[in-house]
Each structure stands twice: as structure tokens, then as C-alpha cells.
Amino acid sequence: MVKPMKNVVRMLPRRHKITISGITALLLILLFWPSERASASRNHEQAETMLELGKRYPLPLTLALNELDEPTQQDIDWVDYEIQPGDSLARIFSSLGFSAQQLYRLTKADKDNLLRRVHPGDSIQIAKDANNHIIELRYALNDTDTFVLRSQESDNDYIASRETKEFESRLEFAQASITSNFWNAGVEAGLTQSQIMNLAELFGWDIDFALDIRQGDHFAVLFEQKFVDGEYVGTGNIVAAEFVNQRETFRAVRHENGNYYTPAGKNMRKSFLRAPVHFTRVSSSFNPRRLHPVTGRVAPHNGIDYAAATGTPVMAAGDGRVIASAYNNLNGHYIFIQHGERYVTKYLHLSRRHVNNGERIRQGQIIGRVGATGRVTGAHLHYEFLVDGTHRNPRTVNLPQSESLPADELKPFTAIAEQKMAMIASRQRIFLAFNND
């Protein structure tokens, strides 16, 4: 190939040969002329750093891990470890090939170092370099929060921080009619166990869920669902709800202060719960001329009996002070609570008592356990409600209500409440139309 080219060149005129020689010389000069040395700067405040072609330069870790969209980490390895039962930090770090000194430097990074309280099932991510130096450690606390330890460039110490992902909240709707019991209806509606309990607690000041629930009652609820990076991570708060019990409608809307109010701004919370136990079968109602099950004689039944398994938690119906916590042959283990000047509640036949005479207690606090002590035929709680020393039916007595929204907050809240209840009504109509097709 080269020889024919030489023959072609020899045949060219002299001036053409001179032109080709000149062009060739110029190209060789441009090819081998030394270029200006390249330079780069991390920012405008730093001095210009000269870079040489073909030479390898270390990339700062903070830039590699945090500042690049697609970082090059040829010398950085990530290790994932899921904590097992019985694991300790010392055992974990030893199994991963890290020294006790490295662990010490990590755990002294911050006085509130969350790494000291790891639990089985949690996971730890560790970034290490070629020298097995820990560059970064990440410990996921939950779906949104991560505890991070990062190595400082200047020394071997670590800086602790917490990273939080923003979650997106979407509204979801559920409804159901009660055919057997409230719990089953909640499950069929797709609610979680905690949502079912929260719904019962929300209306628990107006409805006795152990006594008042009837077939045909129904409820509708608007609640939050949480998403992080587009992935579902769990349910949030109940935003608004409606419960129809024995043809009476109760509605509740969540205020930004975390409390629930009726659409008119009245506080859902009352001074007393309707029932001191959750979801249990009532064996005997308030009846002043009831025949006593043991003696067979007419004996007023000035309260309600909640049949439940021994050990079922018993809650205080309201805030107050314990005026009696004792035992006798008739009542078994019993607790009496004074609520202000006018009200007293009594809890009889307990298997255990968790409060003492004179103790201050809060509404919903577990004060004892259902039992079968005293003169009884089976395990149950006998509950009494007294107003000014007179027994009243806990199911129907008018209960004092907590403070309503102040006037300056009422107008904006009622506008939001109307919107939320309209959403529930609209979705109920859609649900009804869909199921009738």
C-alpha cells in the first residue's frame, strides 16, 4: 500500500509536492505543540488547582456521597446488616471486620447517639473505604427518619445528624354497615385494628360500643394515608367521621390542634366515657327491680354488668381521685372514684386493682382488671354512676362536655368541617350507586 502511494507522489508536479510537504509539516507541529495545563476549582473561593493529564486525583468524600447526581465510588463499599436477636454493637462490628476503637469513635459522636439503642429487625448501612475506615453509617429509625454518622475530613471523629423525608398525605374513604358487630364491620371496611379502636374512642363519649351497637348501624370515615417517595408507609389521622347509631347521627372533624369537634364546633370529648371497657358483651343492664342472680331476691341493680374475660382492662371513666380501693366479701376487689363535687363512679368484682386510695387518675387510665371476686356467678365488671349521691343509668345520663372552640376559631373551622362532611356524603353516594349497579 505504501509503495504505490510513493509512485503516485513521484508522478505529481513539483509545486504539488511542495504544497503537500508544507501541509504535512504544519500538522506535525500542531500535533506535538505543548498544550496549556488544565486547571479546576471546587468553588470560586478556593485557589486554582492544576491538574495533569493522566494523573489520578482523590475526590473528597462529602462531594462523592452528597453532591453528585451519580457519584463515582470506586473505593467505597456499602455494607448492609440486619440486626438479629441477641446482637450487640460490639458483636455486629466485630463480625463486619471493624475494630473496637472504630465503634467507640462512632458511639461518642453525640450524647444522644441513637446507635446505642438498636433493635432486632432494624438495619444498618455502613460505607467504608479501601483501608476499612468507616466513612458513613446510616441507621433507619422509621419510614421517614434516618440517623446518620459521617466522618469528618480533618480527623477521625464523626458528626451525628438526622435526615427526614417528607411524606405525602392522601385522603382515603371507608364505610360499612354493621351486621354482626362493630369490629367485624371495621375489618370488612378495610380499616386497621388501630383505626377501629381510634374510631371507637372518637365516638366513645357518646356511644357505648359494648351496649348501644345495633344491627343496621353504619359509619363512614375519611382518613389519611401516608406515602414516602411514592410508596405507601401507613395510615395517618382520622380527618372526619360519621356514625349512625340507633338512627341518631354523630359527626366529628379533626381540628388542627389535634382534637375532634362536631361540625358546629362542640368538643367531642366529654368528662366521662360511656363505657369503662372496650367491645365486651353486656350481660345485665341498669334495672332497679332486678332479681339477684345469687339470692333470687328482688335487689336493685344500680349499674351495668360488662361480661368479659378475667384480666380485661378496666378504664377510669373520667378524671378524678380514688376515694376507695379495697376488698370485701360482697364487692370483691373494688374501686370508687370521685369526679369533682357531684359525680362518683364505682368498679366492682375486679381481679386486680392498679390504683391506691387517694391517687389522682386520668380519663382512660387502666385502674384494674375484670374478675369474679365477691358475690358473683362469673367474671364481669359491675359499673355504677352516681350524680349527687343518686344512682343514674350510665347509658342515658347527660354527661358534662369539655370546652367548645373559641369564637375566633369557630368560623374557619366550620367552613373546613362542612367541606369534609360534604366529601363523606359525596363518597357515600358514589359507594351506594356503585353497589346498586
Q: What is the pLDDT of residues 207-245, one digit of tens each?
A: 988 888 999 999 999 999 988 877 787 888 999 999 999
51 forms beta bridges with 38
361 strand-pairing partners: 320
Which among 104, 126, 107 has a CA at the least distance from the CA of 117? 107
Q: What is the mean pLDDT of residues 140-165?
A: 79
* Phi and psi angles of residue 206, each rounded to the nearest 5 degrees, phi first: -115, -30
Location of C-alpha cell 488544565? 38
DSSP calls for 14-51: HHHHHHHHHHHHHHHHHHHSPPPPEEE-SSTTSPPEEE
CA distance 167 to 46: 38
First to last CA, the chain: 85
pLDDT over 60 (residue 293):
no
Whether 87 and 159 map to the same domain: the answer is yes
278, HSE (Cβ side, Cα atoms, 13 Å): 18
Residues 204 and 196: their CA atoms lie apart, in Å, by: 12
Among the candidates 135, 164, 193, a domain finishes at 164
| Whether the predicted pLDDT of 349 surpasses 80 | yes
Report how many domains make up the chain. Answer: 3
227 and 196 assigned to the same domain: yes
pLDDT score recorded for residue 131 = 83
pLDDT band for position 165 (cuts 50, 70, 90): confident
> In angstroms, what CA-CA distances link 208 with 56, 202, 312, 317?
75, 11, 17, 12
420 dihedral zone (left: phi>0; alpha: psi -120 to 50; beta): alpha
Residue 182 sits in the same domain as residue 229:
yes
142 and 103 belong to one structural domain: yes
What CA–CA distances, in Å, run from 263 to 188, 244, 252, 412, 422?
Answer: 27, 15, 7, 11, 11
Does 103 map to a domain? yes
Distance of CA 9 to the CA centre of its chain: 85
Q: Are 76 and 127 in contact (CB under 8 A)?
A: yes
Is 403's pLDDT higher than 60?
Answer: yes
Taking the C-alpha atoms of residue 180 and residue 159, their distance in angstroms, rounded to an integer, is 57
Using a cut of 0.95, tell me whether the model's pTM lies above it: no
In terms of pLDDT, which residue wins out, 382 or 23?
A: 382
Q: Which domain holds residue 412?
A: 166-270+402-437
Do residues 374 and 420 share a domain? no
DSSP 3-state of 413: helix
Residue 90 lies in a domain: yes
114 lies in some domain: yes
| pLDDT, position 14 | 65
Is 44 inside any structural domain? no
Report H helices in 61-181.
61-62, 89-95, 100-107
- Is residue 17 included in any domain, yes or no? no
93 and 144 fall within a common domain: yes
Same domain, 185 and 266: yes
Residue 35 falls inside a structural domain: no
**Domain check: are 266 and 408 in the same one?**
yes
The CATH number linked to 90 is 3.10.450.350
| Among candidate residues 125, 149, 164, the one where a domain is terminated | 164
Q: 369 and 414: one domain? A: no
Q: At 33, is the pLDDT very low, low, confident or very high (cuts 50, 70, 90)?
A: low
| Residue 25 placed within a domain | no
| Mean pLDDT along residues 336-342 | 94
In a domain, 229, yes or no: yes
Average pLDDT over residues 261-283: 85
Whether the CB-CB separation of 170 and 232 falls below 8 Å is answered with no
Q: What is the CATH number of the domain that holds 328?
A: 2.70.70.10
Confidence of residue 67 (pLDDT cuts 50, 70, 90): very low
Q: pLDDT tens, 196-214? A: 999 999 999 999 888 889 9
Co-location of 409 and 352 in the same domain? no
Same domain, yes or no, for 341 and 380? yes
Q: Evaluate if residue 154 carries a pLDDT over 90.
A: no
170/234 same-domain check: yes
Q: Select from 132, 164, 196 the last residue of a domain.
A: 164
